[in-house]
Amino acid sequence: MLKRFSISLEDDLLEKFDTFIRNRTYNNRSEAIRDLIRNSFLKDEWEADMEVIGTITLVYDHHQYQLQEKITTLQHDFHHQIISTTHIHVSHDNCLEVIIVRSKAKKVKGLADSLAALRGVKNCSLSISSANN
Ligand code: NI
């Protein structure tokens, strides 16, 4: 059920907020506020080390010496946290791997950071959502 409440804001802050809404293509202020509130709770959960579900997306050069092996070894170290891995051969040199994870935020972030630090990894991005609601 949706509940209604009013918010008081300074003129210039409201102006900035409306620009923000336009740039993000939100339909209305309520939608944007809801999203911002959810995101701030998500950040808290991250800090509080709550259960999250998410993806780690990697782009890497598979010709890099021992990189493939290091990526596999790391994933075996986190086999309790990894739900599935999809590998796509993007081009002659590049591979893309999407790793679906479910665990404590800190663990997931640790895996993403370790993968990002490997030589030959061109891009590593982590996306998470709360697993509890
Ligand atoms: Ni490949």
Q: How far is the CA of 68 from the centre of ligand 1 (A)?
A: 9
Q: How far is CA 81 from CA 25, 60, 70, 84, in A?
A: 35, 21, 17, 9
Q: How far is CA 117 from CA 1, 74, 78, 122, in A?
A: 45, 12, 16, 10
Q: Model pTM greater than 0.75? A: no
Span 13-40, pLDDT tens digits: 999 999 999 998 888 999 999 999 988 8
Distance CA 39, CA 67 (A): 34
Per-chain residues with Cβ under 5 A from ion ligand 1: 89, 95
If pLDDT is split at 50, 70 and 90, which confidence band does 133 have?
Answer: low
Kindly indicate whether the domain formed by 51-130 is annotated with CATH number 3.30.70.1150.
Answer: yes
Span 56-88, pLDDT tens digits: 999 999 999 999 999 999 999 999 999 999 999
| Sequence spans of domains, the chain | 11-47, 51-130
Average pLDDT across the chain, whole number: 92
Q: How far is the CA of 63 from the centre of ligand 1 (A)?
A: 10
Q: How far is the CA of 55 from the centre of ligand 1 (A)?
A: 18
